[in-house]
């Protein structure tokens, strides 16, 4: 990370890579490294995509003075847009499912964004449908960023996340693992890593079931598949049960001092599966995965805050 | 009769129905009745020990049953019971 910057948005990316020693203690020949995306200014991996999406829309003239950026998001992208928008003076409108965690609503609200809620029963796909409808009704007011199909989402990772990992591992990386939400992180990073070394095994992680609790990840067989998703960039998909991801998230806090979100838990759980496989095959490895955000973004409401707003 | 609101990922058990009407005086009874009309749905909501899975929230009206009496929470005639999963990603 830069230690000094002229603009807040210059602080996005260049996040540290940390070795996970205790959760990986049973795998002496496998290094597991995690990219600390919670170190970004708005606290998640999504800062990278938001910065590039907004910068390119301003540069290309799609986002003009007087217009608002509109997108659907279940949280972190919204927080990232809110930060970048505030820092660059771009007004933001977000469509979120009503059951996103209360802290997410509060954080985006603090940055001054306009929030519109979609049905709590329909998940992120319900938010996508509503955002599309709003954008079609008011093309003069809204520029629809559409993180699910915007090529600048994976490109952000192609140009930043992948070269950073390559440099931080000095080209030693053997496996890259990341969960699939919009798929921007895993597709963009994997595409570039494969160019740098086609032997790197790039693995996507999806929840094992449509009904899941790995917030931020998408179960593609039951979802609207993001147009940016390119399966050819991946060597494999690991299907992650919610409980396994949650358990590893708890271990990361207790054993490593890394209090991270459930999707980060799911990513590290997948890394542990790969490490197990390598150990059983008696092979060494340098496995890199993503810690998407901090766990404090998911605190359940306290009892006196129990009235959900929807 | 209570009205159960079914989330998208579970509607394959209810032939696509968004709402199902069932009888039952507690959440436990309501879930048992729901299983009768939509076989297979209960094990998606509850774990092997019968407890509601950690990542599934159930509401009576707008009250989370964790803040009521969990499975013993009272359901009255005309109540609306919502089964709400955690957000399915994309951020």
Q: List the catalytic residue out of A35, A44, A46, A190.
A: A46
A positions 101-120 inside 8 Å of B (CB)? 120
| Domain span holding position A74 | 46-150
Answer whether A180's CB lies under 8 Å from A188's CB: no
Same domain, A214 and A255: yes
Same domain, A54 and A40: no
A94 to chain B, minimum CA–CA distance in Å?
A: 11
Tell me if chain A has a CB within 8 Å of the CB of B29.
Answer: no
Whether residue A2 lies inside any domain: the answer is no
> What is the spatial distance between Cα B65 and Cα A87, in angstroms, rounded to a whole number?
41
User: Is A196's pLDDT higher than 50?
Assistant: yes
What are the b/e assignments for A269-299, b being 16+ CB within 10 Å? bbbbbbbeebbeeeeebbbbbbbbbbbebbe
Whether residue A261 lies inside any domain: the answer is yes
From the list A124, A246, A307, the residue facing B62 with the nearest CB is A307
Tell me if chain A has a CB within 8 Å of the CB of B19.
Answer: no
* Active site annotation includes A223: no
> What is the spatial distance between Cα B25 and Cα B81, in angstroms, rounded to a whole number?
12
What are the b/e assignments for A196-235, b being 16+ CB within 10 Å? eeeebbbbbbbbbbbbbbbbbbbbbebbeebebbeeebbe
B78 to chain A, minimum CA–CA distance in Å?
A: 20
Under DSSP, the state recorded for A27 is -
B positions 51-80 inside 8 Å of A (CB)? 53-57, 59, 62-64, 67
Cβ–Cβ gap A223/B88 under 8 Å: yes
User: Is B74's pLDDT higher than 50?
Assistant: yes
Whether residue A304 lies inside any domain: the answer is no
Give pLDDT, residue A304: 45
Same domain, A138 and A274: no
* Active site annotation includes A46: yes
ipTM of this model? 0.79
B84 to chain A, minimum CA–CA distance in Å?
A: 6
Tell me if chain A has a CB within 8 Å of the CB of B3.
Answer: no
Domain count, chain A: 2
Same domain, A117 and A209: no
With 0-12 / 13-18 / 19 or more C-beta atoms within 10 angstroms meaning exposed / middle / buried, residue A14 is middle
Q: Comparing A170-174, A248-252, B82-86, which segment has the lowest mean pLDDT?
A: B82-86
Cβ–Cβ gap A120/B56 under 8 Å: no
Whether residue A93 lies inside any domain: the answer is yes
Cα distance between the two ends of chain A: 39
3-class DSSP state for residue B45?
helix
- Whether pTM > 0.80 for this model: the answer is yes
Q: What is the pLDDT of residues A13-63, one digit of tens each?
A: 999 999 999 999 999 999 999 999 999 999 999 999 999 999 999 999 999
Domains of chain B: 2-85 (3.10.20.30)
- Categorize the per-residue pLDDT at A138 as very low, low, confident or very high, splitting at 50, 70 and 90: very high
Cα distance between the two ends of chain B: 37
Six-digit token string for A177 = 């693992």
Cβ–Cβ gap B8/A126 under 8 Å: yes
Last residue of a domain, one of A98, A118, A150: A150
From the list A77, A219, A308, the residue facing B88 with the nearest CB is A219
Same domain, A129 and A176: no
Instruction: Kindly identify which residue of chain B lies nearest to residue A242, measuring between CA atoms.
Output: B55
Cβ–Cβ gap B8/A214 under 8 Å: no
Distances in whole angstroms, Cα of residue B19 to Cα of each of A93, A97, A248, B12, B74: 31, 19, 35, 12, 19
The average pLDDT across A94-121 equals: 88
Answer whether A226's CB lies under 8 Å from A149's CB: yes
Average pLDDT taken over every residue of chain A: 93
> What is the spatial distance between Cα A112 and Cα A87, in angstroms, rounded to a whole number?
12
Whether residue A309 lies inside any domain: the answer is no
Last residue of a domain, one of A150, A183, A218: A150
Same domain, A131 and A175: no
């Amino acid at each position: 990370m830069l230690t000094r910057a002229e603009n807040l948005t210059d602080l996005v990316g260049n996040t540290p890579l940390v070795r996970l020693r205790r959760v990986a203690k049973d795998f002496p020949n496998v290094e597991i490294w995690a990219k600390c995306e919670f170190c970004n200014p708005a606290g998640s991996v999504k800062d990278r995509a938001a910065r590039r999406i907004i910068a390119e829309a301003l540069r290309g003239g799609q986002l003009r003075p007087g217009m608002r950026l509109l997108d659907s998001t279940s949280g972190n992208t919204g927080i990232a847009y809110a930060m970048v928008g505030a820092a660059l003076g771009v007004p933001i409108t977000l469509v979120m499912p009503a059951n996103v965690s209360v802290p997410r609503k509060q954080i985006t609200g603090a940055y001054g964004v306009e929030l519109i809620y979609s049905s709590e029963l329909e998940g992120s796909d319900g938010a996508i449908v509503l955002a599309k409808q709003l954008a079609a009704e008011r093309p003069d007011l809204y520029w629809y960023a559409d993180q699910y199909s915007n090529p600048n989402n994976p490109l952000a990772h192609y140009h930043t996340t992948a070269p950073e990992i390559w440099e931080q591992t000095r080209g030693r990386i053997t496996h890259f693992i990341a969960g699939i939400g919009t798929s921007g992180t895993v597709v963009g990073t994997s595409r570039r890593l494969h160019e740098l070394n086609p032997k790197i095994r790039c693995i996507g992680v999806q929840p094992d079931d449509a009904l899941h609790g790995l917030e931020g990840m998408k179960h593609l067989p039951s979802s609207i598949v993001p147009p940016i998703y390119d399966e050819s960039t991946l060597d494999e998909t690991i299907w992650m049960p919610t409980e396994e991801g949650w358990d590893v998230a708890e271990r990361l806090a207790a054993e490593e001092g890394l209090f991270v979100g459930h999707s980060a838990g799911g990513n590290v759980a997948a890394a542990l599966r790969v490490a197990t496989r390598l150990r059983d095959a008696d092979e060494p490895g340098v496995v890199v995965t993503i810690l998407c955000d901090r766990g404090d973004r998911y605190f359940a409401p306290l009892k006196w805050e129990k009235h959900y707003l929807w | 009769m209570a009205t159960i609101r079914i989330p998208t990922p579970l509607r394959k058990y209810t032939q696509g129905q968004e709402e199902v009407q069932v009888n039952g005086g507690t959440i436990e009874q309501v879930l048992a009745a729901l299983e009768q009309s939509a076989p297979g749905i209960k094990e998606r909501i509850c774990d092997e020990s019968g407890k509601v899975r950690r990542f599934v929230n159930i509401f009576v009206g707008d009250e989370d049953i964790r803040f009521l009496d969990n499975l013993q929470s009272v359901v009255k005639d005309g109540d609306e019971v919502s089964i709400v999963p955690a957000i399915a990603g994309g951020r």
